[in-house]
Chains A and B, each alone.
Chain A
Amino acid sequence: MTRHAQLAKTFLTCRDAAVHHDHTFWHVRENRDHMAQAVPEWEQLRSLASDIKAHTLSHIDTYLEQFEARATSNGVYVHWARDAREYCETVLHLLKEKDVTKVVKSKSMLTEECQLNPFLEAADIEVVETDLGERILQLMKLPPSHIVMPAIHIKKEDVGKCFEKMLGTEKGNADPTYLTYAARQHLRHHFLTAGAGLTGANFAVAQTGDIVVCTNEGNADMSTSIPPLHIVSMGIEKLIPDLESMAVFHRLLARQGTGQPTTTFTSHFHRPRPGCEMHVILVDNGRSQILSRKDHWQTLKCIRCGACMNTCPVYRRSGGYSYSYFIPGPIGINLGMLRDARKHAGNLSACTLCQSCDCVCPVKVDLSQQIYLWRQELDTLGLANRQKKIMSQGMQLVFNHPRVYSGALRFAPVINKLPRRLTGVRINTWAMAHEMPQFATKSFHELWKEGNL
């Protein structure tokens, strides 16, 4: 079994939690469906969004320069980072320059990708996540299990216990309203005392230099309204041409991600607050490499809405931690392979090729086809499963030789007569949950040849 299959097995042994996980995310999928069905031009919007992304990515050099020029003329400092290391160092440098010892941070998958938090912590800078889910995970020292709802797999009782210890809440109180209030109080203190606010970017508008951040908690706005320094971290693929394009994505993002018509807060950051500084770091970290791969560049269209996870029947039944890459689900399988194929090949089995992800994706990333193509590369990478290779070679032999094939057909029914001890052997994982199908006494082939139809 692959790494994913093994961890999925463990996940499924806790039946109640597994059912809960499946129902929770299916519910998000249903909410998304209701929202989508209420927009008659939905499929048109998806095509448009896909086209806009394809256009921007294929003119990325021009748009990046346009963005840089606009943002700079708005008074924003723009930095470029080739990889994770350069990125982390840039952030640290900016913080040191201003003697910052504590930062408040809104959700950003890029910082997770580049492992910014441990880097800053090693330099004695306190990092406080301000998205409630992210904060819970940070206090529990756990990674996210979903990109939009990172802590949804955690039970409120466990949050209660964690807050008791870390924030001094009442013993045994797991009331979500109470706990949220406690978190709010606790975060407020940090908003007031942090030296810098870090945000990601959902979109960056080349025409205007806007950084667009979408949240439901307003925490990005809190993180940027008090500290004197605002640092934006964004992958270069977040760029879109203009505000008209933004309107298309705005209609899609929240409907797709959480089943809301819009996120509660959609903030456009144009320029620094008076007397303050705003910096944008444009991060490549492998993206221009991906852009050059004809089979995989489409992953760069992704707007991280999370819908492909919610609809994925395998993700819902195996959980975020069963994947080795920090982004799970269909897009995570692909991004993991692009990051480090050897390390993340164990996720490739987590797909039935049902294509539900392809049909929900707001920007039409060809997720399942890319997974299929990655599977084809495993043998060349020396990572193919031996059993599968032998089976496939066997099939090649039988199927390419009609005479061998008809011979095999004639003898197949013998298998029916084997004792179940033999057909149900351990290596035959199918037999763990299934009765074996029975071979027909006469195949269609034979019936046709007999003219007996």
Chain B
Amino acid sequence: MNIGLFIPCYVDALYPQVGVLTYRLLRKLLPESHIDYPLEQTCCGQPMGNAGFQKLSNGLVEKYDKLFSAFDYVVSPSASCAAYVRTFYPLTYRHPCKAASHTMDLVEFLHDVVRPASLPARFPYTVSLHNSCHGVRELGLSSPSEKVVERYSKMRSLLSLVSDIHIVEPERPDECCGFGGMFSIEEPHVSACMGMDKLERHIQTGADFITGPDSSCLMHLQGLAMKSGKQIQFKHIVEILTAF
């Protein structure tokens, strides 16, 4: 299998270890596969699109298509970016392409394609799941609480393979944390209020860590936690799936 890694801009600059661990985990689980990271990649365009300047990111979409069209799968450790590529490229950019339709978030790729029966990971802590909106409602990483469908959570299923872990979920498990990219800058008060509410609900579970498939939501919550002196810690899900 030919796998292209898409490491979005902010993960690249702020959380490179998330990219590194993604690569190592895929390497380990799929020793036969070819994994590549096209060096010309930058950003999926979402920050500009959300700000109302999708037109300035048309070039990024074409480049994405060019860089990733040859791969069987494009895997990204950022649910929101994967969702943007897969949903918005065909829908609002009107640029349907194989690269976009074969883009998957790491969690769904592991859960649906790799399907590991076990993981050599151990994480003896209580972990609260952060169900990020685009992961849930665009990619279907878990059943959206609004819908009448069978309940499932791909994050929970994967994390259950980790030894000694205790998994919990906050009240209102998939209410938005208020990051929303440009939203957090344009509506700083509502954004902070949503974030603090979310943080409190995570803390109320008694968890040691908050984990999720999106470093962006985690960055927002972590920034709030640090500023307000909360002790809870943060890990991207790949950091737990590879912990020992």
| Chain A contact residues, CB within 8 Å of chain B | 1-2, 4-5, 8-9, 12, 18, 22, 26, 33, 36-37, 39-40, 42-43, 311, 313-314, 317-318, 348-356, 358-360, 369, 372-373, 375-379, 384-385, 388-389, 391-393, 395-396, 398-400, 402, 405, 409, 412, 429-430, 432-440, 442-445, 447-449, 453
Contacts and interface: CB of A to CB of B under 8 A. Distances in A.
Contacts of A359: 137, 144, 146-147
B195 interface: yes
Interface string B174-205: 11101110111111111111111100000000
6 contacts: A42-B147, A313-B194, A353-B183, A433-B227, A435-B226, A443-B16
B53 A392 contact: yes
B136 to A, nearest CB: 9
Contacts of A391: 51
Nearest to B146: A359
B59 to A, nearest CB: 5
A396 B56 contact: yes
A392 B147 contact: no
B30 interface: no
B176 A354 contact: yes
B60 A432 contact: no
Contacts of B182: 388
B188 A5 contact: yes
A350 B52 contact: no
B2 interface: no
B11 interface: yes
Interface of A is mostly: helix
A363 to B, nearest CB: 14
A355 B133 contact: yes
B42 A402 contact: yes
A356 B183 CA distance: 16
Ranked 7 nearest A-B pairs via Cβ: A434-B223, A352-B180, A375-B52, A354-B176, A392-B53, A433-B192, A42-B148
B224 A409 contact: no
A385 B240 CA distance: 40
A311 to B, nearest CB: 7
A155 to B, nearest CB: 21
B14 interface: yes
Given A359-B147, A388-B182, A352 B53 contact: no
Contacts of A378: 52
Contacts of B190: 5, 8, 12, 314, 317-318, 350
